[in-house]
Amino acid sequence: DVWPGEPSDAYWRQQLDSAERELRQGAWSSAIARVGATQLRDSARARYIVARALDAEAEARRDNRLLSRAIAAYLDLLKMNERLSDKKLLEVASRTLDRIQFRGNYLNAEPVYRLLIRRFPNEPSHRNNLTISFLMANRVDLAEEVLKETLKRWPDDRIALAHYGFVLKTKHNQYEKAVEFFEKALEGDTGPANEARFYYHYGDSLLLLGRPDEAHEVHKRGAKLGHFLSPSQRSLYNVPRLKGSPWWNIEDTPYLRLAKALEKSWKEILKEGEAAKALYEQEKEGLKERGEWSQLDLFVRGQEIPDRCKRAPVTCAIVKSEPAAAGCRRGQVKFSAMAAGTHVRAHVGPTNCRLRMHLGLSNTKDTYIRVDKEIRQWQPGKVLLFDDSFEHEVWHNGTGTRLVLIVDVWHPQLTPAERRQLPAI
Ligand code: LMR
Ligand code: MN
């Protein structure tokens, strides 16, 4: 019996049958009204019909308020979990989790996973999925608690080992220990933890430990498995067919006009960058090994930061004249100020969908940027163009604060549809 403990009364059974028929036919409101009677208050089947109807209507109308009501209705149904068969519980839970994730409210998933963990205590996957939910909600602390429990009982669970490596690296800066966990999780390059992001953090931990040769071995493994475009091009959000080259000749792109316009106005751009000094923010991704590095965003994800362009009108007018720059939803436009003595460690950007233009502005003497194998230098009033999905590294061995303007542009091979539809980064 799919619905144990339901009303035995023939009339109410018939009502539920009719409501289910209406649900199938898309008559959502009548289905909901029909099972709303107080006599069906304790019926799991009635709650199921309500949740399904709200869910279907929310989807058809693309209505997020209805979707929230559908999620609440599913959670209501799950409170009666002892009345649901294993199969039904898994079906309802998986739809509920799918809808919660679609809504982006990851913490709401916790009670559902807790329920699954209670019902299927010998199944580590529910614990691992709860861990992922906490990580998506940026609650590394909660993820760590779950992981410790999981690893106590399943010390060889590769997914848990890999996530614990990630927590050790990103929360505790324990790179050595992180490497041990990644090593075990990815041993033999097989198993369920065989994922791009784990190879990425495994290699990055080795780079942080100053073990570049071992990092390179991991990056080669990751590239061979198709997780990276190449050992040195390790962005995780990619359109695979795009040409990948560390350094680009501007003449080979549609951005020569933009570059020339920036170079022509470089002195005014420099003035605008210097006049806004009070607004710069410290870089906080932990990429600088030593020194000071701060930035002033003008455009982020293809959107102007409100009122910023009033501060830099010349710069913004040039940027806005190139839609592939002002509208680059996978990039930024920003001033980047780096103090003398700064070293930015080897790292990669998140996507191969942009190229990064740098306009040199001030104190560029004895500053260096390596992209993949080739080191170049900025010059005041001159533009460089590179692909920051390749490993790159920066040194300021000179004096004074080096200023550059960074302008990201869409990769020239992306189609107009892709530029419109790719999710922003
Ligand atoms: C980077 O993107 O890592 C650097 O090139 C930024 C900068 O200011 O040089
Ligand atoms: Mn970078």
Instruction: Give ipTM to 2 decimals.
Output: 0.94
Block residue for tokens 């339901």: 6
The alpha carbon of 388 and the centre of ligand 2 are apart by a number of angstroms equal to: 6
Distance CA 101, CA 156 (A): 28
| Nearest-atom index, ligand 1, CA of 295 | 8
> Quick one: pLDDT at residue 337?
97
Q: What is the mean pLDDT of the chain?
A: 96
| Nearest-atom index, ligand 1, CA of 347 | 3
The alpha carbon of 226 and the centre of ligand 2 are apart by a number of angstroms equal to: 23
Domain with CATH 2.60.120.330 in the chain: 250-421
Q: Is 417 exposed, middle or buried (0-12, 13-18, 19+ CB in 10 A)?
A: exposed
Mean of pLDDT values over 223-228: 97
The answer on pLDDT for 1 being more than 80 is: no
The alpha carbon of 2 and the centre of ligand 1 are apart by a number of angstroms equal to: 59
4-8, 126-130, 338-342: segment of lowest average pLDDT: 4-8
Distance CA 341, CA 311 (A): 28
Does the C-beta of 32 come closer than 6 Å to ligand 1?
no
Phi-psi region of 190 (alpha: psi -120 to 50; beta: other; left: phi over 0): beta
> Quick one: pLDDT at residue 88?
93
> Quick one: pLDDT at residue 97?
97
pLDDT, tens digit, 9 for 90 and up, residues 245-269: 999 999 999 999 999 999 999 999 9
Closest CA to 95 of 146, 16, 103: 103
Q: Are 265 and 335 in contact, with CB atoms under 8 Å apart? A: no
Q: Retrieve residue 24's tokens.
A: 């199938």
pLDDT, tens digit, 9 for 90 and up, residues 128-168: 999 999 999 999 999 999 999 999 999 999 999 999 999 99
Report the percent of the chain where pLDDT is more than 90: 94
> Quick one: pLDDT at residue 6?
84
Block residue for tokens 């649900």: 23
Axis-axis angle for helices 256-264, 266-275 (nearest 10)? 70
Q: Which CATH superfamily is domain 250-421 in?
A: B-lactam Antibiotic, Isopenicillin N Synthase; Chain (2.60.120.330)
Domain with CATH 1.25.40.1040 in the chain: 10-193
The answer on pLDDT for 286 being more than 90 is: no
Does the C-beta of 384 come closer than 6 Å to ligand 1?
no
The answer on pLDDT for 326 being more than 90 is: yes
CATH of domain 10-193: 1.25.40.1040
User: Cα 175 from chain centroid?
Assistant: 22
Cα four-point dihedral sign 55, 57, 62, 68? negative
Cα four-point dihedral sign 411, 412, 416, 418? negative
Report the percent of the chain where pLDDT is more than 70: 100
Mean of pLDDT values over 188-196: 95
